[in-house]
Amino acid sequence: MPRHVAIIMDGNGRWAKKRHLPRAAGHKKGVDSVRAMVGACIGRGIEYLTIFAFSSENWRRPEEEVSFLMGLFNSVLEREIGRLHKNGVRLKLIGDLSRFEPRLVELIRHGEALTADNRKLTLTVAANYGGRWDIMQAVNALCREHPQQAGQFTEQDLAPYLAMAYAPEPDLFIRTGGEQRVSNFLLWQLAYTEFYFTDKLWPEFNAQALDAAIVSYRSRERRFGRTSEQLMATADVIAAKAADKPLVQNA
Ligand code: IPE
Ligand code: IPE
Ligand code: MG
């Protein structure tokens, strides 16, 4: 099982268009898929679910759609926080919240504080998030705190300043809606993530579709730069240790 699944929930607008409905209807329907995904992840022992809800580029959409999305975010939080908490979900937000209404920010902070000690599943919602924004805010924070080391920072120095430093990097990335791009999602964290693209539109995505993605994930060999033979050798050592047997039998 992947420990961390990250999803670009795409295709709400096209789902609505196919049904001659306004785009808003697709976004509303998409909330049901989020709820289903939270349940499915808990059921499968997946520890981290990260969903892209609103990108730093989505402000470019018509004002009417942006304000609908903000309102939807507000009402979903109000309605679902209690249930998430009851189900042992820790809620986290990543992104630049400074552009949101104070009332929405307050709701987010309240939800994060209420659920902070839950560990069944960590649900991270990326809102007004961009991968480049994340890297830059981390670089700036690091430089502010350690100005004298500027020019000598390592990857390990930067990592704790990234917005999702509390989570392992995603194992499985899923994008629905047929597009095969990253759209400024978790640029740093996806360096060694397995990618899975599906034509299914987000409102159609369900537990069965998640299982199809997991089947694909499990068929991959994650080499992290090594050779296949090296991985086999490591697996043999682990198996031998687990079985408490010497790796090489004496002749
Ligand atoms: C994803 O669905 C949801 C958000 C970006 C908020 P879209 O709204 O991008 O749906 P399509 O891509 O237009 O079908
Ligand atoms: C990516 O979807 C952002 C979210 C799902 C929130 P978009 O629909 O905005 O991506 P592009 O514009 O097609 O790349
Ligand atoms: Mg889209």
Is any atom of ligand 2 closer than 6 Å to the C-beta of 9?
A: yes
Going by CA atoms, what residue is nearest to atom 8 of ligand 2? 10
Beta strands 172-175 and 121-129 are unpaired
Strands 172-175 and 194-197: parallel
Nearest in space to 28 (alpha carbons), one of 12, 44, 14: 12
3-class SS string, 9-31: CCCHHHHHHHCCCCHHHHHHHHH
Burial 75-93 (b: 16+ CB within 10 A, else e): ebbeebbeebbebebbbbb
Residue 231 burial (10 A CB sphere; 0-12, 13-18, 19+): middle
Assess whether pLDDT exceeds 70 at residue 247: no
Query: Could you tell me the pLDDT band of residue 244, with boundaries at 50, 70 and 90?
Result: confident
> pLDDT-derived band of residue 251, with 50, 70 and 90 as boundaries?
very low
Average pLDDT, the chain: 96
Q: For the beta carbon of residue 35, count every other beta carbon within 10 angstroms.
A: 14
Residue 188 is labelled as binding a ligand: no
Ligand 3 center–CA 178 separation, angstroms: 9
C-alpha Rg value of the chain to the nearest Å: 20
**Confidence bin at 97 (pLDDT 50/70/90):** very high
Please write the tens of the pLDDT for every residue from 168-219.
Answer: 999 999 999 999 999 999 999 999 999 999 999 999 999 999 999 999 999 9
Query: Which ligand has the nearest atom to the CA of 175?
Result: 2
4-220 classified as CATH 3.40.1180.10: yes
Which is the closest atom of ligand 1 to the Cα of 23?
8
Active-site amino acid positions: 10, 58
Mutation test of ligand 2: which of 7, 10, 65, 132 has the most ligand atoms closer than 8 Å to its C-beta? 10
The verdict on whether residue 56 carries a ligand-binding annotation is yes
Residue-wise burial string across 111-122, b where 16 or more C-beta atoms lie within 10 A, e elsewhere: beeebeebeebb
d(CA 232, CA 234): 5
Residue 99 DSSP class: G
Counting Cα atoms < 13 Å in the Cβ hemisphere of 234 gives 8
Tell me, in angstroms, the distance from the centre of ligand 3 to residue 182's CA.
11
Helices (H) and strands (E) in the chain, counts: 8, 6
DSSP output for 126-188: EEEE-HHHHHHHHHHHHHHH-GGGTT---HHHHGGGSTTTTSPPPSEEEE-SS----TTSSTT
